[in-house]
Structure 1
């Protein structure tokens, strides 16, 4: 028996850090949405009680470091599942890119194993389990568009934003999320107006969404990595409607409504950066 699951990438339309909590984590307020760039997972039921990971990508670990592995192990332990699973991951989302590729794989594993192992858990229960694995996993269980608070585990679903193109460019560097948060000066940041972004999405006001794109981590990463700043300036110069870095970076995305402008920005980046994608905004959740 096999189950096939899609694991879409996410982008942050807004990312705010409110304060550092007593538990060492930061209190976040984020608006996230899924895009049509996805890993594809094939889950095969095993009679023997083991978890196997396979992938064509050399960047995907096949052991406990893999979030999909952690998701399978957690479900197995929680519900004393005797059977096992082989998880084959077709990796399309760039790794360590600020696009929640690993978190989305973990979320897809939870959704897929719920069917494969016949656990009959609700999406809310799966999202709660996802919070034990990583900050973005709860959101990725739901997918779509949402306001996330806390460490990212408190999810309030939002309507689908207006359709548009998303051009993503990832420079060939890795960015440490921990380092970016450590270098963030909470006394100096200019906080986004999250409510305005939520309102813009609810009103399907594309221009207001573009006007309110904001990520407080962006200045830290841009000052440390000039190539990220260069990509952002390049996208703005070639006429993107809105440009922002996703997560802690290094991927930068541009929102564009018109096909001709999409082609112009995409083609201008191809000679500039190796990993460039032109995809659509998804914004629909896994509840339907």
Structure 2
């Protein structure tokens, strides 16, 4: 095997709670992550020439060590003293800097792909242990599916899969700094938190409305006052029949849960034809944990 092609799937946070700020500056979280059927296409090809060559379809993305996919390949090649080089092509479809782990999932795919091409024999758990060195979301992007994330995001526990539904994803044309959001989070002022335990129970029961009813993201208390268009997108989704709508991660992407495809399509078209968001996709949950 000298070439491998993979789909690197994005995620949303069905519930995101921040419990406290630790003395080391990291925040302790408790959240439910969900993979969705919106993905980047990754092609990795072995080559005889030394070094890593990375290219993407977006000219503004870095193609050196500032790209997590590049660092993922370099990490394994250095650890296992792999001769020659690699060509990595990334066709981006997941919105960039959107709270959907687009960079992390590309890095996770490269870890998996290099492991396959060179038959390194690393287990999924061993790949996850290496992935955390690249970023907090990388181990989850290797695991995928519906997962409880705790600690600083490194403690991952699979939970019952998200019931079948339609997820409308919309990214407004703004950028949000995750660092800024966490630095300005005032936990003493947070009034509404997600019911993570209630969500886990609803997932186990296959109760989609129960999942939607327990959704909340405490980071919205920072991001929405800075960017009210996020709240406006949520309002459009809810007015068109979403069971609930919420910002994913630190934003700015918003997603809505629909139990009816026609309602989701109507909301998608309204947003696409408006000024709030141009990157709008109607997708489904992705619950397959096997990489392909």
Q: State whether structure 2 residue 190 is matched by structure 1 residue 186.
A: no
CA–CA separation in structure 2 for the residues paired with 1:81 and 1:178: 35
Counterpart position of 1:229: 231
Please report the RMSD computed on the Cα atoms of aligned residues, expressed in angstroms. Answer: 1.3
CA–CA separation in structure 2 for the residues paired with 1:11 and 1:286: 19
CA–CA separation in structure 2 for the residues paired with 1:234 and 1:259: 16
Residues 20-169 of structure 1 correspond to what in structure 2 (within 5 A)?
Answer: 20-169=21-170
CA–CA separation in structure 2 for the residues paired with 1:270 and 1:203: 34
Counterpart position of 1:284: 288
CA drift of 1:287 comes to 6.6
CA–CA separation in structure 2 for the residues paired with 1:287 and 1:59: 28
Q: Deviations over 1:65-122 (max 9, x none)?
A: 1010111111122222223211100000010011100000000111111101211100
Gaps of at least 5 residues in structure 2 are none
Counterpart position of 1:17: 18
Higher mean C-alpha displacement, 116-125 vs 268-277: 268-277
TM-score, structure 1 length as denominator?
A: 0.97
Higher mean C-alpha displacement, 231-240 vs 32-41: 231-240
TM-score, structure 2 length as denominator?
A: 0.95
CA–CA separation in structure 1 for the residues paired with 2:44 and 2:236: 40
CA–CA separation in structure 2 for the residues paired with 1:233 and 1:183: 24
Counterpart position of 1:240: 242
- Confirm or deny: 8 A CA contact 2:166 2:285 kept in the other structure: yes
Counterpart position of 2:270: 268
